[in-house]
Amino acid sequence: MTVPGTREVAAPGTLLEIADGVHAYEQLPGGWCMNNAGLIADRGRAVLVDTAATRARARRLREAVERVVPGGPDTVVNTHFHGDHVFGNVEFTPAATVVAHDQTRSDIAEAGHGLCQLWPGVDWGDIPLVLPDVTFPDEMTLRAGGLTVRLLHAGPAHTPGDVVAWVPERKVLFAGDVVWSGVTPFVLMGSVEGSLAALEVLRALDPEVVVSGHGPVAGPDVLDATAAYLERLRDLARHGLRTGATPMATARAADLGPFAGLKDPERLVANLHRAYAEAEGLAPGARIDVATAFREMVAFHGGLPPCAA
Distance (Å, whole) CA 203 – CA 241: 31
b (16+ CB within 10 A) / e for 170-180: bbbbbbbbbbb
pLDDT at position 12: 78
pLDDT value of position 155: 86
Contacts of residue 89, defined as CB under 8 A and 6 or more positions apart, other chains included, come to 51, 76, 78, 98, 130
Per-residue pLDDT tens for 232-259? 999 999 999 999 999 999 999 999 999 9
pLDDT value for 1? 24
Give the per-residue pLDDT at 111: 97
Region of 297 (left: φ > 0; alpha: ψ -120 to 50; beta: rest) is alpha
- Contact status, residue 159 vs residue 82, Cβ threshold 8 Å: yes
At what angle are helices 192-205 and 221-243 packed, to 10 degrees? 160
Q: How does the average pLDDT of the chain come out, rounded? A: 95
The alpha carbon dihedral of 175, 179, 185, 191 has a sign of positive
pLDDT at 4: 33
- Strand, helix or coil for residue 99: strand
Sign of the CA dihedral with 285 first, then 228, 184, and 163 last: negative
**3-class DSSP state for residue 206?**
coil
Cβ atoms 262, 224 nearer than 8 A:
no
pLDDT value of residue 10: 62
pLDDT < 50 stretches in the chain: 1-7
The pLDDT of residue 14 is 96
pLDDT in tens, 38-86: 999 999 999 999 999 999 999 999 999 999 999 999 999 999 999 999 9
Helix (H/G/I), strand (E/B), else coil: 174: strand
Pairing verdict, β 147-153 and 163-167? antiparallel
